[in-house]
Structure 1
Amino acid sequence: MAKINVLNNEIAVYSQNDEDYICITDIARYKSSDRIDD
């Protein structure tokens, strides 16, 4: 698992079958670090 830095936040990047995927949970944490389930 690799990580990229976007606006001073680490976002996980996964690779599977020659495709790259970013972690939307990490992006949701940027929006609101106290509630990520909304």
Structure 2
Amino acid sequence: MISSQISSLIHGAILTLWINASTDLLCSSYSNQFN
């Protein structure tokens, strides 16, 4: 039980970091286009 909770937490953290990185890349590319 504990290992499954830890693995789900790790997956959630990786997914959050990946979404944040993708959003940062999209925002920077959009700002570069409009500048």
Greater Rg by CA: 2
Higher helix share: 2
- Higher strand proportion, which one? 1
